[in-house]
Structure 1
Amino acid sequence: MTRTPVRAALGTAVAFILLAGAAPAAATGGTLRPQLEAITAAGMPGVFAQAVDGRHRQSAAAGVADVTTGAPTRPGMRHRVGSITKTFTATVLLQLAGEGRLRLDAPLGRYLPAYAVDGVTVRMLLNHTSGIADYDHVIFATDTSLEENRHRTFTPAELAAFGLNQPATNPPGAAWSYSNTNYVLAGMILEKITGRSPAYEITKRIIRPLGLRHTYLPGTGTRIHGPHAAAYIPWYEGVLVDFADYNMSWGWAAGDLVSTTDDLNRFYRALLTGKLLKPAQLAEMQTTVPWVPGAPEYGGYGLGLYSNLLPCGLAWGHDGLVLGHSTISWHSADGRRQVTVAQNMTHYVAPGQPDPISDATITMLVTQLCGEQPATARTTAARPHLAEQSFRR
Structure 2
Amino acid sequence: MRNSLDCAALDAAMEDVHRAGMPGLFAEVRADDEVWRGAVGVADLGTGRPVTADLRHRVGSITKTFTAAAVLQQVESGLIGLDAPIGRYLPQLVPGERGAAITVRMLINHTSGLAEYLPYAYPSLKTFPDPAGTRPQSLDDHRHTRFDPVELIEMGVTAPAVGVPGGAPGVYSNTNYLLLGQLLEHVTGASAEQCITRNVIERAGLRDTELPVGAYVDGPHSRLYESWFGMIDPPRDYSVYDMSFVGPSAALISTVADLNRFYAMLLAGEIVGPSSLKQMQRTTRVVSQEGKTIDYGLGLHPMEGPGEGVFWGHGGTVWGGGSLAMTRADGRRQMAVAVNLQRWSRLDSSGRPQPHPIDAALAALFRVAMYG
TM-score w.r.t. structure 2 length?
0.89
| 2:178 match | 184
- The one-character-per-residue Cα deviations of 1:254-297 (angstroms, maximum 9, x if unpaired) are 011000000000000000001111111111111111369xxxxx
| 2:123 match | 141
User: Quick check: 1:317–1:329 contact (8 Å CA) kept in 2?
Assistant: yes
- The offset of 1:96, in angstroms, is 0.7
Residues 1:308 and 2:303 aligned together: yes
2:210 partner SS? coil
Q: Which amino acid aligns with 1:370?
A: Y
| 1:51 match | 29
User: Quick check: 2:93–2:150 contact (8 Å CA) kept in 1?
Assistant: no
- The offset of 1:321, in angstroms, is 0.5
- The offset of 1:114, in angstroms, is 0.9
Q: How does 1:234-383 map to 2 (within 5 A)?
A: 234=227, 236=231, 238-290=233-285, 300-311=295-306, 312-349=308-345, 350=347, 351-371=352-372
| 1:203 match | 197
Identity of aligned residues (%): 42
Q: Distance in 2 between matches of 1:303 and 1:316?
A: 11
Q: Which amino acid aligns with 2:259?
A: L
| 1:391 match | none
2:203 partner SS? helix
Q: Distance in 1 between matches of 2:231 and 2:73?
A: 46
- The offset of 1:198, in angstroms, is 1.3
TM-score w.r.t. structure 1 length?
0.84
Q: Distance in 2 between matches of 1:348 and 1:364?
A: 17
Q: Distance in 2 between matches of 1:170 and 1:29?
A: 45
Q: Distance in 2 between matches of 1:305 and 1:236?
A: 32
Q: Distance in 1 between matches of 2:186 and 2:232?
A: 47
Q: Distance in 1 between matches of 2:177 and 2:267?
A: 21
Q: Which amino acid aligns with 1:132?
A: L
Q: Distance in 2 between matches of 1:152 and 1:251?
A: 12
- The answer to which structure, 1 or 2, has the higher relative contact order (CA under 8 A, 6+ apart) is 1
- The one-character-per-residue Cα deviations of 1:206-236 (angstroms, maximum 9, x if unpaired) are 22222211100112x1110011111101265
2:202 partner SS? helix
- The offset of 1:182, in angstroms, is 0.3
Distance 1:236 1:370, change over 3 A: closer
Q: Which amino acid aligns with 2:206?
A: L
Q: Distance in 2 between matches of 1:338 and 1:58?
A: 10
| 1:7 match | none
Q: Distance in 1 between matches of 2:363 and 2:89?
A: 40
Q: How does 1:110-129 map to 2 (within 5 A)?
A: 110-116=88-94, 117=98, 118-129=100-111
Q: Distance in 2 between matches of 1:44 and 1:222?
A: 24
Q: Distance in 2 between matches of 1:35 and 1:82?
A: 23
Query: Which residue of the other structure, out of 22, 28, 49, is the alignment partner of 2:5?
Result: 28
User: Quick check: 2:109–2:296 contact (8 Å CA) kept in 1?
Assistant: yes
Q: Which amino acid aligns with 1:180?
A: N
**Which blocks of at least 5 consecutive residues in structure 2 are unaligned?**
125-135, 288-292
Q: Which amino acid aligns with 1:82?
A: G
